[in-house]
Amino acid sequence: MVSKKIAVLPGDGIGPEVCRQAVKVLEAVATRFGHRFEMQSYPMGACAIDATGNPLPDETLDACRAADAVLLGAIGDPKYDNDPSAKVRPEQGLLRLRKELGLFANIRPITAYDILLPHSPLKQDRIQGTDMVIFRELTGGIYFGAKGRTDDGEGAYDHCVYSRHEIRRIAHMAFQSAAGRRQRLTLVDKANVLETSRLWREEVREMAHQYPEVTVDYLLVDNAAMQMILNPKQFDVILTENMFGDIISDEASVIAGSMGLLPSASVGAEVALFEPIHGSYPQAKGKGIANPIATILSAAMLLEHLELNEEAALVREAVDEALNNGVLTKELNTTAPYTTEEVGNYIAFWIADSSEKQWNKNNVEIGLSTII
Ligand SMILES: NC(=O)C1=CN([C@@H]2O[C@H](COP(=O)(O)OP(=O)(O)OC[C@H]3O[C@@H](n4cnc5c(N)ncnc54)[C@H](O)[C@@H]3O)[C@@H](O)[C@H]2O)C=CC1
Ligand SMILES: CC(C)CC(=O)C(=O)O
Ligand SMILES: [Mg+2]
């Protein structure tokens, strides 16, 4: 029996809907294994601006610092997306949280599930067997450099800055991951143009001597974007800077079949944070069509981080069960789609050791409340 404190930041748009399912799944895990997960929600993003004027209130940051792990839905709202002059933005909350918690490595695994191969627009033989992990630097680069408008108001700038230290700490993680996988690491950069990329190459090339078992290659990001679609199976571990990692991981979701499937872990010096790679998908808010699996798999990564590996494996089994039985939201099941809630209920039910026969799409709420 373990007792853990998990700070939950549901955020905006579909964030609260998908987070609710992951919390339900964690509750099912706690019930099944006799653990105690103290889960409390805190505002961040547009909802926090509405409530306090601050996208990352002190209370939220303090709660994250005091927690054993953080679970995040997503933030962002069209009100801000459509107003480029807004000075306070939801995304500032997320960026500051990453910086304050020292979450310098964002780990994004990409898997092609056999059962979902037909859902990808890519040719099945190209993507079958894809298994890669992207190590995206998360607290440096252009998202964090000085930004502003030129004095004459006719221009704008965003500076991209990286230090050797910032590169080395995430590169070590990526090398170690590659050493335990298929021993291949690809650095994605733009070293033919950017000085920061040349520093990344310099450091990674030097570090490679410490990991002789790992084969390192270097790929320019424009080419990498093409290779991701053309031959994704060639990749094992991709190491890249903040913005390139943000972009190529959304692209990689096409291999899995949906943005709603890809989880992530953000780790660093302090507490770790777990979140789907997708955003707040505002068009889907309140419609029950958002896929909660990315957030549920993020909860599985959270359990692994807490060294609850058996528990995490059960969550992954339950997700596989949902995938194999077509218990999927409408982007992956167009003929008889399940709602966000129903997918979450199915997975939680399976974990709480109910047989599939007892699970019923229509009365699942009643059943669940007796189990969780
Ligand atoms: N970590 C975060 O909180 C992030 C926040 N954002 C914010 O989210 C807002 C919307 O950004 P977008 O560019 O539209 O990206 P998005 O990731 O929210 O949505 C892009 C597309 O991905 C698909 N999608 C996303 N989540 C899905 C899910 N759970 N199930 C099924 N399909 C899903 C939908 O087709 C959607 O149109 C913006 O305000 C942006 O700043 C964007 C990315 C990450
Ligand atoms: C709001 C962005 C900085 C977040 C994002 O797109 C991401 O982390 O994937
Ligand atoms: Mg992104």
| CATH, residue 110 | 3.40.718.10
- The per-residue pLDDT for 367 is 41
> How far does residue 186's CA lie from ligand 1's centre (Å)?
26
365 shares a domain with 299: yes
Q: Could you read off the pLDDT of 22-35 as tens digits, one per residue?
A: 999 999 999 999 99
Contact 261, 293 (CB under 8 A): yes
pLDDT value at 363 more than 70: no
What CA–CA distance (Å, rounded) separates 167 from 264? 20
Confidence band for 372, pLDDT divided at 50, 70 and 90:
very low
Q: Could you read off the pLDDT of 203-244 as tens digits, one per residue?
A: 999 999 999 999 999 999 999 999 999 999 999 999 999 999
Alpha carbon nearest to ligand 1 atom 21, residue:
281
Catalogue the active-site residues.
143, 190, 222, 246, 250
Last residue of a domain, one of 212, 247, 268: 268
77 shares a domain with 189: no
Ligand 1 atom nearest 91 alpha carbon: 41
> How far does residue 246's CA lie from ligand 2's centre (Å)?
7
Contact 260, 227 (CB under 8 A): no
161 shares a domain with 12: no
> How far does residue 128's CA lie from ligand 3's centre (Å)?
24
Ligand 2 atom nearest 75 alpha carbon: 1
- The per-residue pLDDT for 370 is 39
261 shares a domain with 277: no
Mutate to test the pocket of ligand 1, among 143, 281, 329 (most ligand atoms within 8 A of CB): 281
285 shares a domain with 208: no
150 shares a domain with 20: no
Last residue of a domain, one of 268, 290, 324: 268
Domain count, the chain: 2
Contact 163, 141 (CB under 8 A): no
168 shares a domain with 54: no
pLDDT value at 359 more than 80: no
pTM for the structure as a whole: 0.96
Task: List the domain range (segments joined by +) for residue 183.
Answer: 105-268
Q: Could you read off the pLDDT of 76-102 as tens digits, one per residue?
A: 999 999 998 899 999 999 999 999 999
What CA–CA distance (Å, rounded) separates 7 from 41? 6
257 shares a domain with 125: yes
291 shares a domain with 367: yes
Measured from the alpha carbon of residue 22, the closest ligand is 1
250 shares a domain with 201: yes
Last residue of a domain, one of 268, 292, 315: 268
186 shares a domain with 75: no
What CA–CA distance (Å, rounded) separates 284 from 291? 10
Q: Is the CB of 91 under 6 A from ligand 1?
A: yes
371 shares a domain with 317: yes
Q: Is the CB of 55 under 6 A from ligand 1?
A: no
Percent of the chain with pLDDT strictly greater than 90: 92
